[in-house]
Amino acid sequence: MRLRFQMKSAVLAFVFFLVIIPQFTVGIRMIPGRISAVSAAVGNGFDFGPFAEAPEYRNGKECASQSSNRENFVSSCDVSLVHVAMTLDSEYLRGSIAAVHSMLRHASCPENVFFHFIAAEFDPASPRVLSQLVRSTFPSLNFKVYIFREDTVINLISSSIRQALENPLNYARNYLGDILDQCVDRVIYLDSDIIVVDDITKLWNTTLTGSRIIGAPEYCHANFTKYFTSGFWSDPALPGVFSGRKPCYFNTGVMVMDLVRWREGNYREKLETWMQIQKKKRIYDLGSLPPFLLVFAGDVEAIDHRWNQHGLGGDNVRGSCRSLHKGPVSLLHWSGKGKPWVRLDEKRPCPLDHLWEPYDLYEHKIERAKDQALLGFSSLSELTEDSSFL
């Protein structure tokens, strides 16, 4: 009887670790080193690495008052933290890891950054596995993983100029007000193909004036009409949505969002309305961007262009090399078809791809082959196929 009780207790403890612990947001130090060992341990059939464990980034003296409570549970509701939301998926994992690494390296108070990761319910890697991978790479990271149900949006998605833009997770930004804890009233949304080379706190300190819901770098010199079809502009009613506004293009891969006003204004429903219209009559060719332009363009808090040097992945068809825009740089964004890790691995990098490389925690092919031989499983497909959601 006593032995049975001990075995039952051990099983319950194991279940507690698998189910309850992943919900915690304080980093748990797992076995350091290569993430492929974690993948093999959970038996999911995927090789996600290996990824090296990131350096331990700690707060400086000026952050002492904020870090005094870091020994205990860190709440996703803590308004004193910088809140960053990103998607997390098996195909795009390498970019996400590099993005987080870049933010921690350049943050003045890295322990004061809280990451909200949105993972798809039916991703080839479960949200629990992705959570383990993040924890192993960043043992002290404050984060929480949320599950996004693809069926929430899948029936609203129309075909796009590039298949990757049709991935349901690309639309998770539309649902941040519903997905994130209701206590989260403000967040920075970032795409996964970015690196930050400045203190993320500076972007967090953006003031949204008046009744504005989002802030983003605007590009008013861009040809705004090209983001919609001729059928949209020739429609007798649809262009009237911009009446009284001076719409400018903005990239939705970098946004500061007021989630309180977002929820109060039912902006998720407003975006869905335009997606429903798109299903009936084709009014744009891109993915999740045009509905944001329809709802917000002309009413966006303009943020300095240094916070989204976008388009570094080239266009959506060829993914050709591009150079930086003029001016200072705080964030580089490989929006477009070309991704730096793909081009680097294929030994055809663009010049700016080498700026991404120092933040890459992926341990390259020679080390990877050694690890796989030791672990006793063969190489699976590389996670370098273009899977942009941007």
- Tens of pLDDT along 5-34? 444 444 444 333 333 333 333 332 222 333
d(CA 348, CA 357): 13
Q: Per-residue confidence at 64, pLDDT binned at 50, 70, 90?
A: low
Which range, of 25-39, 125-139, 248-262, 344-358, averages the lowest pLDDT? 25-39
User: What percentage of the chain reaches a pLDDT higher than 70?
Assistant: 76
Output the six-digit token pair for 358. 């120092």
**So what's the pLDDT on residue 71?**
54
For tokens 């933040």, the residue is 359
CA 95 and chain centroid, separation: 9
Contact 84, 256 (CB under 8 A): no
For tokens 């319950």, the residue is 12
Which residues have a Cβ under 8 Å from the Cβ of 81 and sit 6 or more positions away?
A: 74, 112, 113, 114, 142
d(CA 141, CA 111): 7
**So what's the pLDDT on residue 8?**
46
- Exposure of 274 by Cβ count < 10 A (0-12 exposed, 13-18 middle, 19+ buried)? buried
Contact 291, 250 (CB under 8 A): no
Cis peptide bond N-terminal to 351, omega within 30: no
For tokens 């388009």, the residue is 311
**pLDDT at position 62 over 80:** yes
**So what's the pLDDT on residue 49?**
58
d(CA 356, CA 168): 26
d(CA 364, CA 138): 19
In tens, the pLDDT along 288-322 reads: 899 999 999 999 999 999 999 999 998 867 778 99
**So what's the pLDDT on residue 163?**
61
Of 51, 175, 92, nearest in space to 386 by CA: 92
**So what's the pLDDT on residue 202?**
98
**pLDDT at position 77 over 60:** yes
**So what's the pLDDT on residue 27?**
30
**So what's the pLDDT on residue 368?**
40
**pLDDT at position 387 over 80:** no
Mark residue 266 as left, alpha or beta (left: phi above 0; alpha: psi -120 to 50; beta: remaining). Answer: left
Residue range 82-359 forms a domain whose CATH class is alpha beta
- Exposure of 141 by Cβ count < 10 A (0-12 exposed, 13-18 middle, 19+ buried)? buried
274 vs 34: which has the higher pLDDT: 274
Contact 124, 92 (CB under 8 A): no
Q: Per-residue confidence at 252, pLDDT binned at 50, 70, 90?
A: very high
d(CA 350, CA 192): 19
Strands of the sheet containing 301-302, edge to edge, are 142-148, 113-120, 82-88, 186-190, 254-258, 214-216, 301-302
In tens, the pLDDT along 148-196 reads: 998 888 888 777 665 656 678 889 999 999 999 999 999 999 999 999 9
**So what's the pLDDT on residue 363?**
81
**So what's the pLDDT on residue 165?**
62
User: Exposure string (b/e) for 75-112, b if CB count within 10 Å is 16 or more?
Assistant: bbebeebbbbbbbbbbbbbbbbbbbbbbbbbbbebbbb
Output the six-digit token pair for 183. 């206590």
Contact 254, 217 (CB under 8 A): yes
Mean pLDDT of 373-387: 31
